[in-house]
Each structure stands twice: as C-alpha cells, then as structure tokens.
C-alpha cells in the first residue's frame, strides 16, 4: 500500500472513531449511564462510561477488513474475531449489571481458548511441548486482558497505551516487510488511528470512559496481536511494547495477593494512581507514559545487531525510571483532577 493509501486507511478509522465516539457519548448522556466517583476512583465528577460501544465494533471491522484484504481464509482468525465480539457483549452486560467475577473469568478463558486457534505457530518457539505452549498462552492472554482492564483508571491512559502498541507493530511491519507482518502492520496502524479518534473525547478532562465494554475486548485484541508477533519470532518486541502495563499491573497485583487481598476488586495502588494521589494531573501521567512508550519503541528498532535480551533489560530500566518519576518526582503545580 502506498503512503497515500496508508494515510487514507488511517484517516477513515480516525474520523470514524471520533464520530462514533461522539454518537455514543450522546447516547450515554441521554440514558444517564455514568461512572459515579467513589473512594477508589481517580476522577471527581460523574462521567459517561461505555465508550467501548464505539471502539470495540470499530476494532472488529478493522481486523475483518485486514483479514479480507490479506486473504485470510482459515477459520481460526475469524473465530478469534467472533470471540472478541462476544467479550464485548459480556463486558457491556458487566458494565450495566456487575456480573460475578467467576463468570467473567470463565468466559474470558473460553474466549482465549477459541482465540488460540488464530495462532498457527507456537508462541515460545518450540522450546516447550505444544500442549504446554498453549496452556501458557491461555494463562498469559487472560492475564493480559485483565491487566489492561485494571490499568484503565485515568483519562487517556489506555488510549495512549493501545495506540503506542499499534504504532510499534506498524513500525515493525515497515522495518521487517515480510508477509507475516504486513497484515499485522495494517492492524497496528488502524488501532493507532482509532485510539487517536477516541482520545479526542477521552483526554483530560475526559468526556467519557471506555468502560469494560472497551477495555476488555481491547486487551483481548492487543493480546492476540502481541502473541502473534511473538510467534513470528519477534518475542522481544512483543514483550517490550506493553512493558509498562505489564510491570505496573503485575507488581501491584502480586503485592496485593501477598497481602491476601481480593485482587479483582478495584483499588488505587497502581503506580499511575499513586502519581495522581500525589497531585499529578491525568494528562501529565498519560504524557509521561506516552514519552516512555516512544523510548520503548526506539529500543525495539535501534541497532539491529543488539541482542534481544539487552533490549529487554534496557526496556526494564526505562519502565523503572518511569515508575520512579511517578512516585518521587516533584509534583510542581499539576492539578489533581
């Protein structure tokens, strides 16, 4: 696809995201479907929740278009896409009626086991038996869905994270223009465009939130995308691109588990939440994450002869530096809103 074609492709999804989110925002306001602040919230006023009603269908259309354009005929990827839609429906019901955690997790496992059919190569490169590869992928994928949902707690954060991952995968397709990466690159570019359109409404002060109907299917789709990249041999890139989310969510939830707390309950102990409690604005924290993600992308593609393990170590230092700034950097005059 030419530069003009890529620009047109991205523009269509950006404008569609912006307009559909606006339409969903008006619907949520009319129906008074609001996220009311409580002692665990990082926002101060009731805000419409359910922006995923625009984002999730767009993501499914995006991937379906790319599958059709690249000639995907095997049933596995299409079943994965159907599972994403099912998760979206489940999550909307959860947004409206607070489904039991056990039911949510059980259906997430079902969706992921269906999604594994879309991975035609072992993710771990054959170093373990294929059955064990599948088991570990299912566990990691369900964990990624939930950590993405857990981390969706302030204005702009998940749009920034998802857009950064999409950009990183698009750049991978440009740097390594092999057939297995081309379709993934289109999807990455589309995700970037959709997230920019959404951020127009979700940037601080947010006019609406994703809700589970957005964050859960988005985590599912990004999980598949990263696992697909890893299965094609680019495991370091798949690990580095979401490394801040991976570190913050995993560290915080392990800490809570060791204290025997209910890790599936909402809380305010993630590093980004601690930064907000210290007085950082939502916008400042999201921009810090965005800058760090751009550095992580640079690590992925700078110096092709750098060993993968060194890239991962460098990424860890970047993430630790970001966390350090969140909990120790002087606040200045950033408002806590």
**Mean pLDDT in order along the chain per 10 residues (337 residues):** 90 97 96 78 79 96 96 94 96 90 92 93 92 96 94 94 98 89 96 98 94 96 97 95 96 87 77 92 96 97 85 96 89 49
Q: Is the alpha carbon torsion for 120, 179, 73, 236 positive or negative?
A: positive
Alpha helices in 259-303 (DSSP H): 271-278, 282-301
User: Residue 153's pLDDT is what?
Assistant: 87
Q: Are 34 and 59 spatial neighbours (Cβ–Cβ below 8 Å)?
A: no
pTM: 0.93
- Say if residues 107 and 236 touch (Cβ distance below 8 Å): no
Residue 55 pLDDT: 97
Closest by CA to 165, choosing from 144, 188, 149, 183, is: 188
Torsion of CA 150, 66, 7, 164, to 10 degrees: 20
Q: Give Cβ neighbours of residue 276 (< 8 Å, ≥ 6 apart).
A: 42, 154, 282, 285, 336
């Amino acid at each position: 696809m030419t530069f003009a074609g890529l620009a047109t492709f991205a523009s269509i999804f950006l404008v569609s995201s912006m307009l559909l989110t606006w339409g969903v925002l008006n619907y949520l306001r009319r129906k008074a479907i609001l996220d009311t602040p409580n002692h665990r919230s990082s926002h101060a006023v009731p805000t419409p929740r359910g922006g995923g009603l625009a984002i999730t269908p767009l993501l499914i259309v995006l991937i379906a278009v790319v599958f059709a354009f690249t000639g995907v005929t095997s049933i596995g990827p299409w079943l994965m896409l159907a599972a994403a839609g099912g998760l979206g429906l489940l999550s909307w019901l959860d947004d409206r009626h607070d489904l039991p955690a056990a039911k949510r997790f059980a259906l997430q496992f079902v969706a992921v086991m269906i999604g594994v059919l879309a991975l035609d190569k072992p993710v771990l490169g054959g170093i373990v038996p294929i059955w064990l590869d599948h088991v570990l992928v299912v566990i990691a994928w369900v964990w990624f869905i939930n950590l993405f949902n857990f981390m969706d707690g302030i204005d702009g954060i998940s749009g920034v994270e998802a857009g950064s991952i999409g950009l990183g995968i698009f750049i991978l397709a440009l740097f390594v223009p092999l057939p297995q990466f081309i379709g993934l690159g289109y999807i990455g570019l589309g995700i970037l465009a959709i997230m920019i359109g959404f951020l127009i409404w979700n940037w601080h002060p947010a006019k609406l939130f994703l809700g589970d109907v957005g964050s859960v299917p988005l985590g599912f789709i990004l999980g598949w995308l990263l696992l697909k990249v890893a299965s094609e041999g680019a495991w370091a890139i798949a690990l580095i691109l979401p490394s801040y989310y991976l570190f913050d969510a995993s560290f915080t939830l392990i800490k809570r588990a060791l204290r025997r707390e209910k890790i599936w309950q909402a809380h305010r102990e993630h590093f980004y939440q601690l930064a907000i409690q210290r007085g950082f604005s939502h916008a400042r924290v999201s921009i810090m994450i965005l800058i760090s993600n751009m550095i992580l992308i640079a690590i992925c593609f700078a110096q092709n002869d750098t060993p993968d393990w060194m890239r991962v170590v460098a990424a860890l230092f970047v993430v630790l530096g970001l966390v350090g700034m969140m909990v120790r950097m002087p606040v200045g005059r950033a408002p806590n809103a």
